[in-house]
Amino acid sequence: AADIAAGTAMDPGWKPISSALVGISVVRSNPAFWWHAFWWTHVVLLFTFLAYVPHSKHMHIIFAIINTFFMDLTPKGALKKVDLENAQTFGVNRVEQLSWRQLLDGYACTECGRCTAACPANATGKPLDPMRIITNMRDTLDEQGPAIVAGKTEGLPDMFATVHPEDGIWACTTCYACVYECPVMNEHVPKIIEMRRHMVLTQGKMPPEAMETMRKIEQNYNPWGIGWDRRGDWAEGMWIPKLSEGGRYLYLFWVGCAGSFDDRNRKVTLAFARILQRAHVPFAILGPEEKCTGDPARRIGNEYLFQAMAAANVETLNRYEVKKIVTACPHCFNTLKNEYPQFGGKYEVIHHTQLLKELLEDGRITPTKEVAELVTHHDSCYLGRYNGIFDEPRDVLKVLPGVKTVEMSRCRDRGFCCGAGGARMWMEETIGEKVNHRRLSHVEETGASVVATACPYCLIMFDDAAKTKDREDIRRFDIAELVERSL
């Protein structure tokens, strides 16, 4: 305005607000004075804001840039490996035990609440608030920082008192929705797992039913507790070879614990195996030599048991020189693909929906029978958000004769967890509404007659919800079962 009044402004026609201020008599009478007054006011406000920002919630403006620059580029589904032999502490229960990168999350947080809004545990009344984990961690560091620097931390409350209570930490399904929604690349799930690790490995504390599951894995290498030597019983009469019998095969079919021991998921395993045989795909199984990948143990915080399972499986796979693995379980898929490289196990791992799509496109299987169903597909968290596989299951459904598809309100990368991840499959759900019941209500909203899954855990959770809510008219199938019906 002062420039315009003095006649020194360039293109005043493009400055309507400044031009309007010229009408104020004091500006027009002394433009040089007001030019300096406005300039200094601008400078003072700017530097005041810069000084204020680091001490306010607006500090995320600065730290979000730094946080994004240092974001973790390792696979989303790979938790950090713990050096069990040399670690001084297991997990974390104090903020000073967190890395600088983890602490940076607190200062980058915009407190927008998108993580909490996306959380299925929070949505169903559980005491889990992902945003508060991040902000309380920051506030705890601010409060305890001087004592930490002075080395006087004895007697200070730990993270379970200042950051988040234990019930909330156990409620997490590790679905990754919170991390996926965060606009500044904060990572909530790894911190939750670190807190679980402390409770399990340092305090020896976990829900009783989870402890029983860990015992079953230790003794029989599967969370069902069924004898390990019966892992290959499902294949009796199928003429499916085992790697121990010799021969060369294109794929190792990693069946997984659910596919081997759960009655409902055995049907999925048989359906997929018959499809592979029909397509003349050379594959073999490990049979009794296959052990749990350790996913439930790692997500529950029992890193010691996970590493024992991983080392044993990698030794077996490498001994047979396995190159390609196909599995119907997203949890096995994620662990084999993203976490076993930490232990020397590097394999090409594909999900069964990916292979089914390939077989259909190559014409090695041709669906001819009509499957007259209105189908909605449920996205597995460990297949979708963790590994980006959203299209393959839908592409398979689209080519099945008679199948019509409809999407749920929360689908694909915004999908809602079934409630089984993060080892919640093996823990009782006593607080709030059950997550699988909420997810079934999303299916009900679509009017679909069938919900299709691509995960054994999801299938179990939908079966349980349908029976409990008396909605068994909504049928539950794995995609492999629908494909076999169409052949």
Domain that holds residue 213: 208-359
Overall domain count for the chain: 4
Q: Are residues 84 and 43 in the same domain?
A: no
pTM over 0.95: no
Q: Are residues 350 and 370 in the same domain?
A: no
Sequential DSSP letters for 397-419 = HHTSTTEEE---SS-GGG----S
- Of 359, 382, 399, the residue that ends a domain is 359
**Backbone torsion region of residue 294, taken as left when φ is above 0, otherwise alpha when ψ lies between -120 and 50, otherwise beta:** left
Q: Are residues 219 and 109 in the same domain?
A: no
Q: Which two tokens stand for residue 151?
A: 């080395």
Cα separation values, 89 from 84, 223, 249, 372, Å: 9, 27, 44, 57
φ/ψ of residue 402, rounded to 5: 85, -15
pLDDT value at residue 22: 66
CB 296 within 8 A of CB 222: no
Q: Are residues 256 and 339 in the same domain?
A: yes
pLDDT per position in the chain (487 positions), as tens?
A: 666 666 666 776 666 777 676 666 566 667 777 778 888 998 999 998 888 877 777 788 888 888 899 988 899 999 999 999 988 889 999 999 999 999 999 999 999 999 999 999 999 999 999 999 999 999 999 999 999 999 888 889 999 999 999 999 999 999 999 999 999 999 999 999 999 999 999 999 999 999 999 999 999 999 999 999 999 999 999 999 999 999 899 999 999 999 999 999 999 999 999 999 999 999 999 999 999 999 999 999 999 999 999 999 999 999 999 999 999 999 999 999 999 999 999 999 999 999 999 999 999 999 999 999 999 999 999 999 999 999 999 999 999 999 999 999 999 999 999 999 999 999 999 999 999 999 999 999 999 999 999 999 999 999 999 999 999 999 999 999 999 999 9
Cα separation values, 204 from 197, 213, 220, 302, Å: 9, 14, 21, 10
Q: Are residues 214 and 337 in the same domain?
A: yes
Q: Are residues 307 and 408 in the same domain?
A: no
- Of 326, 359, 392, the residue that ends a domain is 359
Is residue 56 domain-resident?
no
Q: Are residues 307 and 178 in the same domain?
A: no
CATH number for position 300: 3.40.50
Is residue 446 domain-resident?
yes
Is residue 58 domain-resident?
no
- Of 154, 169, 202, the residue that ends a domain is 202
pLDDT value at residue 128: 97
Q: Are residues 119 and 33 in the same domain?
A: no
Q: Are residues 124 and 183 in the same domain?
A: yes
CATH number for position 86: 1.10.1060.10
3-state secondary structure of 218: helix
Is residue 27 domain-resident?
yes
Is residue 64 domain-resident?
no
Could you give the strand order of the β-sheet that contains 475-478, starting from the edge strand earlier in sequence? 403-405, 373-377, 450-453, 475-478
Q: Are residues 458 and 319 in the same domain?
A: no
pLDDT value at residue 50: 82
Q: Are residues 306 and 245 in the same domain?
A: yes
Is residue 272 domain-resident?
yes
Is residue 62 domain-resident?
no
Q: Are residues 372 and 437 in the same domain?
A: yes
pLDDT value at residue 59: 81
- Going by C-beta distance under 8 Å and a sequence separation of 6 or more, which residues neighbour residue 453? 377, 378, 380, 459, 462, 476, 477, 478, 479
Angle at 222 between CA 252 and CA 485, to 5 degrees: 55
Angle at 415 between CA 417 and CA 299, to 5 degrees: 35
Is residue 264 domain-resident?
yes
